[in-house]
């Protein structure tokens, strides 16, 4: 893990970023409606998420142990914890990348892995999963951009093939989003020619283009060189502060977690160790394990 | 369409000994062919690495040329052209020659990758010890390069085995040659050709499995 | 050198060789893709049936298959023309080798690509069509080019079931004594070699086309 300098909100480090230009004047009225949200074509409305008794095992290892957790609509929830604690698995289960062995997951009041048939909960069909999954999108640690497509095509692909927009509409949406994340001059570039920070901003634009109600961020700055972390955090900050989208973030950026989180969840050994508002978790942690973890992490910074 | 063809067991039983004789010829041709291919291929590989461009360049082209043209035509060419130059060898030997030359172009590639896999330091150490080129090749480089390439050579052995039936068309009575003879003699072709196919499966599937196991075992070694 | 009518015969034969190769390549490519995908199927029976096809055609010899289809199949009431028998055999044969090429290349596409496509809610068909396959195709091309050359070489086998391809024409001219044997075979080999170089050129061009934007990214895809 690179020890990233804590990004300073008030000091723009990257003048090219459109976000930063705006956040340089913190009182501007634009704050009420995020340019990102507008660019995505919609006011992003958050959905709630509920995990009930979710268990996930890899062989003998239990990564999620009867997890019960609720995320309110529009809440920005930050998940912290040591590596291997299962925090990434929470996001992957919600994205349907890992299927849990037991329990149920609800998104916006709808079952994700199950559907009701004749009054009984049965395993969901692919059609049902796709219909619920529409509400969720995810940004990955390693970007996972499509290397054979340009930045613009990466972003417009989903709207075109999944949401059914016309080519022009999809390209227009993609162009707007790339513009707002500060990549207005990179439309035609393939991912191989972009820096890590630029790739991750394309990936965020790609996820946003799907108009998700719940966005998942899986250690999105961990694979970046330290000097590129700031540009990505700025985009996340804008989303956190100016949209009503539900956000679940797994991160090692403690300063950032404190700044934007509505709630911080400390996760270890497949269970929630402790949770609460950032001021409490970072200022007055109740559990020994949380204190140990925070000391270890903050010492490095 | 008539899928009710009645398989003639008696006939099949009658021609089987001939087919097995043919199979033995096929196996012999494969054996001699692969040995020739392994020797010639090594020569190709070493010549191709020569620092003298007048050697390496033509070698590369000859390899490319032989490898991208049909074995059948090469076989016919040797069979019909050599006698014109007073070279009289029997059909079996001609066939082995063609197989050996054709497959040498494949084995030379295999050796090349094996040789390139030997670390540069081995060449440098040999120079530092003032070893002759001959000694460097025979005592340092090849002993390291060859064990690695044995599974790939095995794959070409199996591939060659399946091309030996071409020898039937220069009058060699290999397994297909025997099958053809039975077919024309009795006007009953289903049994001979089916048996020929089955014999190929019986030999080549276990061989492929063997080669795969060899690959796995070699991959496990450090 | 040779008289015009001899050239004419050789070029006619070359044209047949090209036809057989192109038609068999079409069939072989389709079969490679279908068989490669079948090898990745989650349904065990599909994988098993596919393995039988692959092992059967790789385990027997192309010439034996051709003879069976041309000389034994008529006893079941199915008579194929020499052209059809040649194209079908060579296509089936190529498919059994191409299967592995397609399967390997698809499996080599990083898992994150599938995950990103799931996160975009892309259907599994579109995932294969727009995300996975186009990337795998770039990896497939070099071994696919080798398969095409092997196919071109194997096309000479059709001369043995009376189809008048290049090899067949050479044999006819040789028997007629119309030209020196050495000369005839040399010309034939050179013509085959030129066709092979043509294939290599086409495959290179396709690699350049499909690999746009990827050349720098191939090693750095994950960083």
> Is residue C60 within 8 angstroms of chain B, CB to CB?
yes
**pLDDT given at position C222:** 34
Q: Chain A: which residues have CB within 8 Å of chain C?
A: 95-97, 126, 130, 133-134, 136-138, 140, 142, 144-148, 150, 157-158, 161-162, 190-193, 196, 206-207, 210, 223
Alpha carbons C26 and C15: distance in angstroms, whole number: 17
Query: What is the nearest CA distance from B22 to chain C, expressed in angstroms?
Result: 14
Domain positions in chain B are: 14-220
Q: What would the two tokens of residue A195 be?
A: 């820096």
Over range C106-123, report the average pLDDT: 95
CA angle C60, B214, B21 (to 5 degrees): 40
pTM of structure: 0.84
| Predicted confidence (pLDDT) at residue B216 exceeds the cutoff of 60 | yes
pLDDT digits (tens, 9 = 90+) for C14-57: 999 999 999 999 999 999 999 999 999 999 999 999 999 999 99
The CB density around residue B163, as the number of other CB atoms within 10 Å, is: 22
Alpha carbons A162 and B14: distance in angstroms, whole number: 65
Q: Do C121 and A144 touch (CB under 8 A)?
A: no
Contacts with A150 from chain C: Cβ below 8 Å: 213
Contacts with C131 from chain A: Cβ below 8 Å: 146
Distances (CA, A) of A230 to A145, A187, A252, B166: 20, 22, 14, 68
Alpha carbons A102 and A291: distance in angstroms, whole number: 31
Contacts with C105 from chain A: Cβ below 8 Å: none
Domain positions in chain C are: 4-222
pLDDT digits (tens, 9 = 90+) for A201-213: 999 999 999 999 9
**pLDDT given at position C3:** 82
pLDDT digits (tens, 9 = 90+) for B120-153: 999 999 999 999 989 999 999 999 998 889 889 9
| Predicted confidence (pLDDT) at residue A30 exceeds the cutoff of 50 | no
Per the CB < 8 A criterion, the answer to whether C170 and B73 are in contact is: yes
Q: How high is the mean pLDDT of chain C?
A: 91
Q: How confident is the model at residue A299 (pLDDT cuts 50, 70, 90)?
A: confident
**pLDDT given at position C149:** 97
Domain with residues C4-222, CATH architecture: Orthogonal Bundle (1.10)
Q: What would the two tokens of residue A198 be?
A: 């630029």
Per the CB < 8 A criterion, the answer to whether A199 and A31 are in contact is: no
pLDDT digits (tens, 9 = 90+) for A63-119: 999 999 999 999 999 999 998 788 999 999 999 999 999 999 999 989 999 998 888
| Predicted confidence (pLDDT) at residue A198 exceeds the cutoff of 60 | yes
Q: What would the two tokens of residue C152 be?
A: 């071109």
**pLDDT given at position C208:** 87
Query: What is the nearest CA distance from C113 to chain A, expressed in angstroms?
Result: 6
| Predicted confidence (pLDDT) at residue A185 exceeds the cutoff of 50 | yes
- CATH fold for domain B14-220: MetI-like fold (1.10.3720)
Q: In this complex, which of A95, A142, A150 lies closest to C118 when CB atoms are compared?
A: A95
Alpha carbons A205 and C68: distance in angstroms, whole number: 59
Query: What is the nearest CA distance from B75 to chain C, expressed in angstroms?
Result: 10
**pLDDT given at position A266:** 94
Alpha carbons C63 and A146: distance in angstroms, whole number: 43
Alpha carbons A238 and C84: distance in angstroms, whole number: 65
What angle do the packed helices C133-154 and C4-38 form, to 10 degrees?
Answer: 140
Q: How high is the mean pLDDT of chain B?
A: 92
pLDDT digits (tens, 9 = 90+) for C163-188: 999 999 999 999 988 788 999 999 99
Q: What would the two tokens of residue A40 be?
A: 């995505």
């Amino acid at each position: 893990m690179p020890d990233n300098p804590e990004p300073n909100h008030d000091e723009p480090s990257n003048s090219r970023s459109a976000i930063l230009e705006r956040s340089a004047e913190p009182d501007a009225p634009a704050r009420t409606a995020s340019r990102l949200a507008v660019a995505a074509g919609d006011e992003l409305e958050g959905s709630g998420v509920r995990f009930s008794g979710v268990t996930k095992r890899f062989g003998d290892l239990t990564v999620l142990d009867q997890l019960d957790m609720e995320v309110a609509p529009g809440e920005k929830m930050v998940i912290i914890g040591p590596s291997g604690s299962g925090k990434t698995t929470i996001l992957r289960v919600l994205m349907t990348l890992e299927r849990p062995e037991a329990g149920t997951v609800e998104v916006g009041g709808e079952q994700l892995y199950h559907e009701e048939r004749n009054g009984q909960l049965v395993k969901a069909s692919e059609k049902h999963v796709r219909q619920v999954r529409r509400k969720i999108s995810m940004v990955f640690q390693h970007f996972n951009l499509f290397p054979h497509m340009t930045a613009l095509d990466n972003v417009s692909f989903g709207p075109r093939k999944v949401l059914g927009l016309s080519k022009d509409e999809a390209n227009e949406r993609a162009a707007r989003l790339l513009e707002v994340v500060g990549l207005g001059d990179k439309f035609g570039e393939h991912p191989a020619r972009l820096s890590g920070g630029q790739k991750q901003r394309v990936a965020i634009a790609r996820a946003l283009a799907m108009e998700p109600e719940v966005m998942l961020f899986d250690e999105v700055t961990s694979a970046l060189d330290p000097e590129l972390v700031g540009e990505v955090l700025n985009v996340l900050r804008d989303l956190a502060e100016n949209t009503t989208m539900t956000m679940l973030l797994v991160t090692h950026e403690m300063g950032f977690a404190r700044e934007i989180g509505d709630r911080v969840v400390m996760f270890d050994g497949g269970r929630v160790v402790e949770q609460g508002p950032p001021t409490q978790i970072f200022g007055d942690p109740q559990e020994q394990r949380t204190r140990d973890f925070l000391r270890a992490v903050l010492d490095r910074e | 369409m008539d899928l009710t063809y009645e398989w003639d067991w008696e006939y099949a039983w009658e021609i089987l000994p001939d087919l097995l004789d043919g199979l033995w010829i096929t196996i012999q041709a494969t054996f001699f062919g692969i040995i020739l291919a392994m020797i010639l291929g090594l020569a190709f590989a070493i010549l191709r690495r020569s620092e003298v461009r007048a050697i390496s360049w033509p070698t590369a082209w000859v390899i490319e040329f032989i490898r991208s043209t049909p074995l059948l035509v090469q076989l016919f060419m040797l069979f019909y052209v050599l006698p014109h130059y007073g070279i009289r060898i029997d059909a079996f030997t001609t066939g082995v020659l063609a197989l050996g030359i054709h497959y040498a172009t494949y084995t030379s590639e295999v050796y090349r990758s094996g040789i390139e896999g030997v670390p540069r330091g081995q060449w440098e150490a040999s120079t530092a010890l003032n070893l002759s080129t001959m000694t460097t090749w025979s005592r340092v480089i090849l002993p390291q390069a060859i064990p690695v390439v044995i599974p790939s050579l095995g794959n070409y052995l199996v591939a060659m085995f399946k091309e030996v039936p071409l020898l039937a068309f220069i009058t060699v009575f290999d397994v297909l040659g025997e099958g053809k003879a039975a077919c024309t003699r009795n006007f009953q072709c289903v049994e001979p050709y089916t048996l020929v196919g089955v014999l190929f499966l019986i030999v080549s599937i276990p061989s492929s499995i063997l080669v795969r196991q060899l690959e796995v075992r070699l991959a496990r070694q450090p | 050198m040779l008289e015009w009518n001899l050239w004419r015969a050789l070029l006619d034969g070359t044209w047949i060789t090209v036809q057989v190769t192109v038609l068999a390549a079409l069939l072989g490519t389709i079969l490679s893709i279908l068989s490669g995908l079948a090898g990745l199927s989650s349904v065990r029976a599909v994988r098993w049936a596919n393995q039988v096809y692959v092992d059967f055609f790789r385990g027997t010899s192309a010439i034996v298959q051709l003879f069976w289809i041309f000389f034994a199949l008529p006893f079941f009431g199915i008579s194929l023309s020499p052209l059809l028998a040649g194209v079908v055999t060579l296509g089936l044969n190529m498919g059994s080798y191409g299967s592995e090429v397609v399967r390997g290349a698809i499996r080599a596409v990083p898992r994150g690509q599938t995950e990103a496509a799931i996160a975009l809610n892309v259907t599994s068909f579109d995932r294969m069509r727009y995300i996975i396959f186009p990337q795998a195709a770039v990896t497939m091309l070099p071994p696919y080019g080798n398969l095409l050359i092997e196919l071109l070489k194997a096309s000479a086998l059709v001369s043995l079931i009376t189809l008048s391809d290049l090899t067949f024409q050479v044999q006819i001219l040789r028997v007629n004594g119309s030209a020196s044997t050495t000369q005839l075979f040399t010309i034939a080999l050179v013509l085959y070699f030129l066709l092979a170089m043509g294939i290599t050129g086409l495959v290179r061009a396709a690699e350049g086309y499909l690999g746009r934007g990827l050349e720098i990214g191939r090693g750095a895809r994950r960083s």
